[in-house]
Amino acid sequence: MGYRLNRRAAFGLGTAVAAGSVLGSAPASAQDVEEASPARPDRARARVKRVYDDKAAEAGGTWNAHISVADGVAVDQGSDEVVEAYSVNKVAVAVTVLDKIDRGLLTLTEQVEVPADIVIKDGDGIIALDGAYPSVFTVGHILALFLTVSDDTCVRLVGLVCPPAEINETLKAKGFPKTQVIPVANPKRYFLGKTTARETHDLLQSLVKGTLLSQASTDYLLGLLRSQVAFTDGIRRVMSSADRARVATKAGWLNDGRNEAGVMFDNAGKPVLTYALFARGLPEHAADFGGTHPFVGARSEMGPKFLRAVDKISGDTSARTLRAQAYQPSNGG
């Protein structure tokens, strides 16, 4: 998808507005409010699709996406094509670690040694900034860094407690055969691998419906992804802290790919919109890993519009209720 003609230009908005004034149609502001926050799920899906189509087209590149609203599909674009997942697959990997905890084979409090030579010094996260290794982390500490600041060294640390062969077998057993990490010569190390937009979407849906992990592990994982410190440069960028707390999200980036997947919750804490967005291309922007990349900018515009589109509809009543964590900045003391 590489065209850049926006909908307003395509439909001659200026002419339409003038004609509306003559014919006495409803004020544009009232129409925009109704379109932005529909009262029915089918109209909310249509709204989400319009927003996605517009912003993806404006950004250009190649997109693979699957978005559902209230258990109905809003967007399905190349959702079965296997794509590079990058750090979005950290959610799937975390599921396998938490599954191991659910089976009594591991605990969040178990300690893992962090030698200096395991630290990735030029990637994302904070471990490389500490300058105080060797050290010892708990599994809980590793997962928190893995899913919030997307710490790259934690990929290696996770491999020490849940090797790649075990990760892949667990994901296959749970019904996600295309969501796989890529093992390397060291049996405890791996690249984050591949997935499809549909499988990532379905994994998130299984998570919020409570069929993937125990209640404790489900709440733990979603609490990390929904925290204020989790990724805020895409879907959640142009949101208040209260709105950010309604979104559990994980992004991934490398080479020319910029991805993000997550869940939006209604005000009662029920999941109402699930998205899996994978975009690649635009080689001229491949070195830009910040908020100015067109793909990231497109997601930052989609995010608040998606959230407003589901404001008036209810989420899945059969799914787990996850209310926003209390948030109050601290000044120490």
| Tens-digit pLDDT profile for residues 242-295 | 999 999 999 999 999 999 999 999 989 999 999 999 999 999 999 999 999 999
Host H or E run for residue 276: strand 271-280
Extended beta strands in the chain, E state:
62-69, 72-77, 83-84, 111-114, 135-138, 180-183, 190-195, 247-254, 257-265, 271-280
**CA gap 272, 37 in Å, rounded:** 13
Q: Say if pTM beats, i.e. exceeds, 0.85.
A: yes
| Tens-digit pLDDT profile for residues 141-177 | 999 999 999 999 999 999 999 999 999 999 999 999 9
- Given a cut of 70, the residues of the chain with pLDDT beneath it are 1-34
